[in-house]
């Protein structure tokens, strides 16, 4: 029996999470902990839902293990009016809801998404890439432009026999550099499995002069399937998901403060590790 008949509202929620080792991706799986498992457990315990099918629980996108999210979206038809901080207070600090919007009862966070925005952070600083590999920024930017538009991305995705159509349109692919760090942003309505991580793998090989630009272009030819390992998942972030203007997310101030406090704490903790290893390296080189 659907909750729709009881005249309850459906909501979309924005959620952040960090792809820690203990989570085996976002989507529920047997016998392992996932982001969805952690969230569902709290929603049931706090009496927001009691049955996933009745509540129409659905995530807009799935992410692999170690991938993080700033603006993932999920939906439920809750049994009571949602209070974000009530839910967050029972969630671990590495995840939390920070915005919500009532939506039409027939809306799906997956199928009504207008665009998905991912950001990838390169694992090495730019000066290291240049000194160690003579990294070619210009040719990577040229390749980013080539990726925009409609292409067959078969050779930039994980082989999946259930997916017949590997043609996608990338609306925006752009490299930026800030504070010695390389970022690449991708925006599209939908992506194939591991598409971004496999694109990144080839862009890094291109920048390191391990493949030529002509070899990069041959990957758009779907006549021959090319297999290779994707790039490190730790640098990938599901940055945001956009919907039509009738969906108006209301940001919860206390939830954002909770999120930012967690980020600041983690930044300070990792800054100390960075300084520790930097000092050890400097001392060793004396």
The set of catalytic residues is: 64
Strand partners, 260: none
Distance CA 118, CA 71 (A): 10
Q: Token digits for 241?
A: 């998901």
Distance CA 176, CA 126 (A): 11
E strand segments, the chain: 10-17, 58-59, 68-76, 95-103, 115-121, 149-152, 167-178, 181-188, 236-242, 250-251
In 3D space, the residue among 204, 69, 68 whose CA is nearest the CA of residue 143 turns out to be 204
């Amino acid at each position: 029996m659907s909750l729709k008949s009881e005249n309850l509202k459906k909501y979309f929620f924005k959620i952040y999470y960090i792809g820690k080792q203990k989570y085996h991706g976002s989507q529920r799986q047997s016998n392992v902990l996932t982001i969805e498992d952690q969230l569902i457990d709290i929603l049931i315990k706090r009496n927001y839902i009691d049955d996933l099918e009745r509540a129409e629980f659905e995530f807009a996108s799935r992410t692999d293990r170690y991938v993080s999210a700033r603006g993932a979206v999920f939906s439920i038809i809750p049994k009571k009016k949602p209070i974000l901080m009530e839910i967050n207070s029972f969630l671990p600090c590495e995840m939390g809801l920070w915005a919500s919007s009532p939506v039409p009862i027939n809306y799906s966070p997956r199928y009504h998404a207008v665009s998905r925005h991912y950001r990838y952070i390169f694992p090495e600083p730019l000066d290291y890439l240049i000194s160690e590999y003579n990294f070619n920024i210009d040719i990577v930017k040229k390749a980013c432009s080539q990726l925009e538009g409609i292409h067959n991305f078969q050779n930039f995705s994980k082989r999946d026999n259930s997916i017949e159509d590997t043609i996608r349109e990338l609306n925006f692919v752009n490299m930026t550099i800030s504070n010695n760090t390389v970022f690449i942003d991708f925006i599209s309505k939908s992506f194939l499995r591991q598409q971004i991580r496999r694109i990144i793998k080839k862009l890094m090989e291109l920048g390191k002069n391990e493949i030529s630009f002509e070899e990069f272009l041959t990957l758009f030819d779907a006549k021959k399937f090319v297999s290779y390992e994707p790039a490190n998942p730790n640098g990938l972030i599901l940055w945001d998901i956009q919907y039509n203007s009738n969906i108006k997310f209301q940001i919860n101030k206390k939830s954002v403060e909770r999120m930012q406090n967690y980020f600041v704490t983690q930044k300070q903790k990792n800054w100390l590790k960075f300084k520790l290893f930097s000092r050890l390296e400097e001392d060793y080189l004396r």
